[in-house]
């Protein structure tokens, strides 16, 4: 076998046709599609490792993935390698960039910070063009109250109230470092960045903020719910199809910077 080099791929995908990132026995996943494409180029089976395990229907703007590939083939041209992989992928998945990394780099375990974006479509009628890419909200949301409520989740604390009942993490303590709302036209985006996330944590936070925006829960009530650490007291989980994996940070790499540099070199 040829000498191998480890690369970090930045992957974009529309998740509505997939069972999530992680390969499964009885469903088609993004990981499987990517591994099959790269295996054809490498002429042997490969295994890809992503920074997160997105659920069915969740999208990615920039999912970091590491995989070991032929050094000789890679050194000829990283750009050609990316184009070659994309030629073998469904149109709903694209590799955006490729960076050679250290042999012991791990896309999941070395990740210091992850970021997600959640999109809500605030309009009387739903969209005919991309209904699977946002949560349609026909009722008006009080964004000011939602922004006040977002402060309840900031910092390092126990997030038991907003993790799924099936979450198997040993500890519910996480640190949210950014939680911001941006409204432009019909689209309300909720951006959240943390050291790590619990199962359904982002979607449950969004559900809680929307409940405040609909005046079904006050900021003070939400604060009390968080203190009680009881998932049964908090809002319903927001739909998966509004969620996007948007960025990740490592000791030596920031995914958004890699993409920016790649685009500038194009």
Question: Under 8 Å CB-to-CB from 129, ≥6 apart: which residues?
Answer: none
Query: Active-site residue 265, yes or no?
Result: no
Question: Under 8 Å CB-to-CB from 194, ≥6 apart: which residues?
Answer: 113, 114, 115, 174, 175, 176, 177
How many CB atoms are closer than 10 A to CB 252? 10
What tokens does 21 get? 């990132």
Nearest Cα to Cα of residue 31 among 58, 7, 49: 49
**Spatial contact of 204 and 234, defined as CB atoms under 8 Å apart:** yes
- Give the HSE-up count for residue 246: Cα atoms under 13 Å, Cβ half-sphere: 15
Element (H, E) at 258: helix 255-265
Please tell me the chain's helix, strand, coil percentages from 3-state DSSP, rounded to the nearest 5.
Answer: 35, 30, 40
Question: Under 8 Å CB-to-CB from 43, ≥6 apart: which residues?
Answer: none
Catalytic residue among 2, 14, 55, 110: 55
Active site residues: 55
């Amino acid at each position: 076998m040829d000498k191998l080099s480890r690369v970090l791929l930045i992957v974009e995908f529309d998740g509505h046709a997939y069972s999530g990132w992680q390969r499964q026995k009885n469903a088609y996943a993004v990981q499987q599609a990517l591994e099959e494409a790269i295996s054809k180029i490498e002429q042997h089976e490969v295994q890809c490792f992503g920074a997160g395990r997105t659920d069915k229907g969740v999208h990615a703007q920039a999912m970091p993935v590491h995989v070991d590939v032929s050094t000789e083939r890679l050194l000829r041209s990283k750009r050609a390698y990316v184009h070659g992989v994309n030629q073998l992928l469904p149109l709903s998945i694209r590799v955006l960039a490729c960076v050679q990394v250290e042999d012991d780099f791990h896309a999941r375990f070395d990740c210091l910070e992850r970021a997600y974006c959640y999109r809500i479509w605030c309009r009387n009628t739903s969209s005919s063009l991309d209904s699977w890419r946002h949560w349609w909200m026909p009722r008006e949301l009080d964004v000011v109250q939602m922004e006040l409520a977002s402060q309840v989740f900031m910092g390092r604390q126990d997030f038991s109230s907003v993790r799924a009942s099936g979450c198997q993490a040993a500890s519910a303590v996480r640190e949210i470092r950014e939680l911001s709302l941006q409204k432009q036209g019909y689209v309300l985006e909720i951006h959240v960045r943390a050291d790590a996330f619990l199962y359904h944590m982002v979607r449950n936070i969004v559900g809680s903020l929307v409940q405040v925006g609909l005046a079904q829960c006050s900021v003070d009530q939400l604060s009390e719910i968080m203190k009680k650490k009881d998932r049964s007291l908090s809002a319903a989980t927001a739909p998966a199809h509004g969620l996007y994996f948007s960025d990740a940070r490592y000791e030596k790499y920031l995914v958004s910077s890699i993409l920016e540099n790649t685009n500038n070199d194009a």
